[in-house]
């Protein structure tokens, strides 16, 4: 067996962390992933998986070994630059030791062959993610850390990469994933689906949905290719399918051009009770309420194109997507100001609502809590009321245009808001994002 533990004293061993504030064991230093190719075979019996994942990366330091995140599964072989490499498993890690040390700046290819029945990962808040078997197939959803249950990767939103997927499944099943469906072939009872996600993507936004689906094709008037998948066993989300192009158009008028060439959504009976902004094609659990569709589509700009580098900055995703729901509602109903005022009235000073500041969640179980969604959106409305519509709209649009394709931070957002408004917003953001109390006087 090729299993050699790396020495702790080895100074050129890549760190097995990305130093995330909420998930310190996730991610790996030492390299930047550039692209992944996932060649996966879904085995219906037992919902098992056979995989061949190829990661191309650039070494950020000399590397005698480096890590990838991987939970469960049996790794049979690893190659680096085409040569068999030794490896060992740590907790949720695959540590690879190539025959030759990798030099700073060099581009290298790691290929990992593996198989098994992937785990469903249970989050600190009790929700399920990762590999989730359904009645007629499987769905893989990755926020925040589930990607490691079905493919080895650098599991941090700090390290975005391009993706290609080659997915094999029994031919009577359909396969949805990210980006453009470039080809679909059938041989010996197996269907093979080729997807390309040409723009950078964080691993938590990669997904698969395999099962029996009705496929809906289309194209928006400005040329975005639409491809949606709906489960024939749940009521058809006809309103969502009809409104998708119009919502995409409206979002572009608010924030700037749609970040990708492909769009759509997946609706499947999953049983997780949340929707996810999977890149280009958000995933819904059996129903697609229009407000949720607006929320997940808003994430394509905020979360998917512009991605927080650290999970502690997740209000940049959820605050923005929730604020977009307010903007959507304001078209025909209550203004964002009134929605904000109502929330303020509902949460007087001393209400536990204020105890968890968006930028100081403490516990990863708070990742999808009220502080992140509602106080995050309130922060944006308070910002608009502080710097005015013109500076606010410029800030939001610039945030997208200046950071799309990248991973970024709250500090950069504050800098931008200060630059566009010409105001010192230090105490404003400190009160809204860092303090366990109800802000006053913004």
Q: If binding is defined by CB under 6 A, does position 412 make contact with ligand TRP?
A: no
Q: If binding is defined by CB under 6 A, does position 442 make contact with ligand TRP?
A: no
Which range in 35-43, 250-258, 310-318, 425-433 contacts Zn ion by CB under 5 A?
A: 310-318
Which range in 43-51, 118-126, 319-327, 433-441 contacts Zn ion by CB under 5 A?
A: 319-327
Distance in angstroms (rounded) separating the CA atoms of residues 287 and 275? 9
Among 71, 267, 277, 285, binds ligand TRP (CB under 6 A): 277
* Distance in Å, CB of 360 to ligand TRP, minimum: 19
Whether 139 contacts 73, CB under 8 Å: no
Query: With respect to ligand TRP, which residue has the nearer C-beta, 125 or 334?
Result: 125
**Sequence-ordered list of residues with C-beta below 8 angstroms from that of 167, at least 6 positions apart, any chain:** 38, 40, 41, 42, 175, 177, 192, 193, 194, 195, 208, 210
Which range in 228-236, 270-278, 325-333, 429-437 contacts ligand TRP by CB under 6 A?
A: 270-278
Among 276, 288, 309, 433, binds ligand TRP (CB under 6 A): 276
Of residues 112-151, those binding ligand TRP (CB under 6 A): 125, 127, 143
Q: How far is CA 230 from CA 79, 201, 209, 214, 273, in A?
A: 38, 24, 10, 5, 16
Whether 245 contacts 252, CB under 8 Å: no
Query: Phi and psi dihedrals of 175, rounded to 5?
Result: -130, 125
**Which residue is at the shortest CB distance from Zn ion?**
321
**54 in helix, strand or coil?**
strand
Q: If binding is defined by CB under 5 A, does position 321 make contact with Zn ion?
A: yes
Q: If binding is defined by CB under 6 A, does position 79 make contact with ligand TRP?
A: no
- Burial-class residue 411 by CB neighbours within 10 Å (0-12, 13-18, 19+): exposed
* Distance in Å, CB of 91 to ligand TRP, minimum: 22
Q: If binding is defined by CB under 5 A, does position 377 make contact with Zn ion?
A: no
Q: What is the 3-state secondary structure (H, E, C) of 125-183?
A: CCCEEEEEEECCEEEEECCCCHHHHCCCECCCCCCCEEEEEEEEEECCCEEECCCEEEE
Q: If binding is defined by CB under 5 A, does position 367 make contact with Zn ion?
A: no
* Distance in Å, CB of 318 to ligand TRP, minimum: 6
Whether 258 contacts 223, CB under 8 Å: no
Among 69, 92, 296, 374, binds ligand TRP (CB under 6 A): 296
- Over the window 345 to 374, marking each residue x when it contacts ligand TRP by CB under 6 A and - when it does not, the resulting string is -----------------------x------
Q: Where does this chain bind Zn ion (CB under 5 A)? A: 318, 321
Q: Where does this chain bind ligand TRP (CB under 6 A)? A: 125, 127, 143, 274-277, 295-296, 299, 318, 368
């Amino acid at each position: 067996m090729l299993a050699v533990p790396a020495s702790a004293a080895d100074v050129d061993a890549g760190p097995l962390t990305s130093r995330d504030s909420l998930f310190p064991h996730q991610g790996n230093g030492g390299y930047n992933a550039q692209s992944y190719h996932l060649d996966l075979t879904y085995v219906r019996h037992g919902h098992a998986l056979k995989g061949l994942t190829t990661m191309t990366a650039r070494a950020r330091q000399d590397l005698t070994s480096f890590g990838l995140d991987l939970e469960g599964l049996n790794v049979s072989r690893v190659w680096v630059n085409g040569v068999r490499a030794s490896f060992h498993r740590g907790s949720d890690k695959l540590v690879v030791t190539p025959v030759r040390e990798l030099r700073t700046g060099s581009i290298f290819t790691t290929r990992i062959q593996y198989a098994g029945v992937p785990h469903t990962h249970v989050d600190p808040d009790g929700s399920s993610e990762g590999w989730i078997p359904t009645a007629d197939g499987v769905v893989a959803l990755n926020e925040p850390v589930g990607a490691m249950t079905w493919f080895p990767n650098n599991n941090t939103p700090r390290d975005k990469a391009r993706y290609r997927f080659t997915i094999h499944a029994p031919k009577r099943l359909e396969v949805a994933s990210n980006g453009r469906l470039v080809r679909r072939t059938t041989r010996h009872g197996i269907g093979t689906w080729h997807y390309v996600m040409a723009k950078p993507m964080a691993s938590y936004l990669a997904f698969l949905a395999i099962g029996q689906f009705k496929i809906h094709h289309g194209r928006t008037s400005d040329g975005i290719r639409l491809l949606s998948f709906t489960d024939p066993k749940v009521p058809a989300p006809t309103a969502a399918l009809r409104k998708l192009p119009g919502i995409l158009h409206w979002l572009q008028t608010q924030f700037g051009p749609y970040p990708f060439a492909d769009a759509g959504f997946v609706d499947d009976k999953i049983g997780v009770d949340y929707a996810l902004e999977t890149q280009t094609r958000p995933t819904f659990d059996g129903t697609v309420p229009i407000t949720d569709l607006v929320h997940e589509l808003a994430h394509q700009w905020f979360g998917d194109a512009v991605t927080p580098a650290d999970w502690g900055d997740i209000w940049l995703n959820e605050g923005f997507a929730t604020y977009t729901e307010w903007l959507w509602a304001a078209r025909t109903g209550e203004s964002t100001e009134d929605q904000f005022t109502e929330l303020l009235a509902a949460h007087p000073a001393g209400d536990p609502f204020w105890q968890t500041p968006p930028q100081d969640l403490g516990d990863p179980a708070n990742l999808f809590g009220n502080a992140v969604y509602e106080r995050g959106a309130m922060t944006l409305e308070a910002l608009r009321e502080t710097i005015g519509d013109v500076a606010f709209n410029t800030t939001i649009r610039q945030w997208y245009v200046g950071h799309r394709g990248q991973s970024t931070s709250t500090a950069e957002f504050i800098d931008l808001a200060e630059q566009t408004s010409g105001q010192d917003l230090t105490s404003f953001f400190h009160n809204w994002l860092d303090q366990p109390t109800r802000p006053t006087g913004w």
